[in-house]
Amino acid sequence: GRNHSRRFSSSLCTNQPYLILGGDYCGVDLIKGDNVGHLEYYDPCKGEVKVSEKIVPMEFLELMGRIGSSHGWVASLNTRDASMSLIDDLNPTTSLDSYPKRISLPPFVTLPYCQTQLVSNVAMSSASPEQEDCVLAVKFFGPQLSLCKPCSGPNTKWFNIRTPNRFFNSQVMYSRRNQMFCMAASGGHYTGSWDLHKHRHNPILNQLKLQNFPKLMQPELGLLDSCFRREDLVESPTGESFLVKWYDDGSSSYSDSEKSKTNKLFLVFKIDEEGNACYTQDIGDLCIFLSKSEPFCLHASLYSGLTPNSVYFVGFDDIGVCNLATSTVHQIPNINPDNYPSMTTFWLHN
């Protein structure tokens, strides 16, 4: 009864982005005895909430332990033993006939004065954790970053890294251009890069020179001083690097008649090879996706219905799109944020 306009769809186009929402209970699996349901998701290309024909265990549809995703794989954390799993059950683009893939990983080892219960996000170096050279990164709130090679089987182990304190709340992403995991430090004035080899304990730290910073109006200046701030690094399919500074006061101001929201601000800076980060309101045909998943960027023209030059986001209490040219933020229609906690709702793509 939450949305009467949704319709069934067996699959999406390959690589198309989608937003995990939850699931509709449909009964009990007669073979395994598990409660199962249909995956509910939002298709931004069609602007519709849909329900997949795939049958998924309700434990995954309702799992509060979902801690992020990368390339369509969802990471879940078992808080009882600090172990982690990668699953593809929540991917509506996979075939209805394919057997779900699940990869179990060993429990985390917590570094001294760190914690492994609260996760910022996860990222992967390859499209699938089944690839031999794939490396998975898990960034926790605090200084711990943990890496592993998921396909190592019984030999899989975590390599723990203590990052500088300036990366306490950072989100991790994998740069194909540099072939390293990268994060923006708090404030966005530095970036750090790590891998499993030379730079595991000796990261590359680069200073960013923020340029062409926009002139802000008084309401926007007040927002900067009083709200939550987050910095994300994201890389385009062609290797362009961007820093997104996201400001949010965490309050809800939507009403039935409102078209946009004024308590959010997104500032995008394009980064060149010398570390110059130039503010821009025009990223062309690109659109950026931010949530608890690994940040990613797509060409809007490849997916009919996406809005170019925009940021799609999952906030504290809302899900929306920011038009970078006008700095206006619009809530995505047909989605009630009260029904979908932001900690378990995130953008995915293969």
- Considering only CA atoms, which of 68, 75, 76, 60 is closest in space to residue 25? 60
pLDDT at 328 over 80: yes
Write down the mean pLDDT value for the chain.
Answer: 84
The CATH number of domain 18-252+260-348 is 2.120.10: yes
Q: Model confidence over 253-304: pLDDT tens digits? A: 444 444 445 578 899 999 999 999 999 999 999 999 999 899 999 999 999 9
Q: Do the strands 83-87 and 73-78 form a parallel or antiparallel pair, or are they unpaired?
A: antiparallel
Write the single-letter amino acid at 274: E
pLDDT at 20 over 70: yes
pLDDT at 122 over 60: yes
The residues, any chain, with a CB within 8 Å of residue 280's CB and separated by 6 or more, are 212, 268, 269, 270, 324
- Does residue 280 sit in helix, strand or coil? strand
Write phi, then psi, for 220 (nearest 5 degrees).
-70, -40
- Considering only CA atoms, which of 229, 224, 145, 227 is closest in space to residue 183? 145
- Considering only CA atoms, which of 170, 189, 190, 191 is closest in space to residue 121? 170
